[in-house]
Amino acid sequence: MADERLFGGIELGGTKTVFAIGTCSGKIIARRTVPTRAPEAVVADAAIFFAEGGSKVSALGVGAFGPIVIDPKAPDYGQLCDTNKPGWSGFGLTGALEEAMGLPVRLVTDVGAAAIGEAQLGALRGCEIGIYLTVGTGIGGAIIVGGKVLPALLHPEMGHIALHRLPGDAAPSTCNFHDNCAEGLAAGPAIAARFGKSLDHFAPDDPEFLMIADYLGQLCCQLVLTLSPQRIVLGGGVGGAPGVVPAVHRAMVRHLGRYAPAAVADEHYLTAPTLGQDAGITGALVCAVNAIREMA
């Protein structure tokens, strides 16, 4: 008999939070999106949503913005580190959710959840090693190994990998820590600061567009050389701009200089997320399912 239990998912972003109820297959049957307010208010919103769902969920999977401690063995597991989001620094997210709803909670980062969703049901399915890279307000990434997020000291900060500035590029970095990291040069705020508009206002052959594609191609080049993934998924608001994925792929191949397996040159090697905007919340549901299976 098919598993008819229901599971809960939360995708906690810096601007909005998505709640969902779904099945063990990752099918979403109910959802709600709310603004990300103070942490206590978000926990209260979650409790209300799942209480109104009418059916008891078995576990809760959470994909959260960071930096956040995701190691279950750490004494401060589930606690937000210093963050720019007012009121969230030091907040114990998993403990608050467990207390409010009496459910086991499985926590990953927001980009980790998207990676798990794509590994289970999307573009990273069947990849032994895959990368999910999101480029939007910031740049974040997750490494998938055998369908699971690779454990780490904290979590990967791919957006802060250093890049080579193009000749003549003297624009200030929007990163508070680095003058030439990917996030400071090519994330959404950096693009707006440089050009006064978002990337989707430019054509794929405009020099502004090609500059950002080059920087993101450099980033992907370094990920290929370091991790040799079988596929890279490029998501986020910037990653979803028309023409970005093929332009970044061309730049990546150029920077690799043929120093990579032939498969990297395939047009599907660097790809958009199959699940689109549902990758993160689907991955959160998968985490909830895995939590119950591992407890059995």
The helix/strand/coil state of 162 is: strand
pLDDT on residue 84: 76
List pLDDT tens digits, range 268-290: 999 999 999 999 999 999 999 99
Residue 10 has pLDDT above 90, yes or no: yes
The residue among 160 and 153 whose pLDDT is bigger is 160
Smallest CA-to-CA distance from 224 within 198, 248, 208 is with 248
Band the pLDDT of 54: cuts 50, 70, 90.
Answer: low
CATH topology agreement for domains 6-113+277-295 and 126-273: yes
Cβ–Cβ < 8 Å for 85, 35: no
- The pLDDT assigned to 295 comes to 77
Residue pLDDT, tens place only, 215-249: 999 999 999 999 999 999 999 999 999 999 999 99
The whole-number average pLDDT for the span 167-189 is 95
Q: Are strands 16-22 and 6-12 parallel, antiparallel or unpaired?
A: antiparallel
- CATH code for the part of the protein at 6-113+277-295: 3.30.420.40
Q: Is the pLDDT of residue 1 over 60?
A: no
Q: Produce one character per residue of 83-116: b if its CB has 16 or more CB atoms within 10 Å, e if not.
A: bebeebeebbbbebbeebbebbbbbbbbbbbbbb
Q: Under CATH, domain 126-273 is a member of which superfamily?
A: ATPase, nucleotide binding domain (3.30.420.40)
Rounded Cα–Cα distance for residues 94 and 255 (Å) = 41
pTM: 0.91
Question: What are the boundaries of each domain within the chain?
Answer: 6-113+277-295, 126-273
Q: 279-295 and 110-121 are packed helices; what angle lies between their axes, rounded to 10 degrees? A: 80
Angstrom distance (rounded) from CA 164 to CA 206: 20
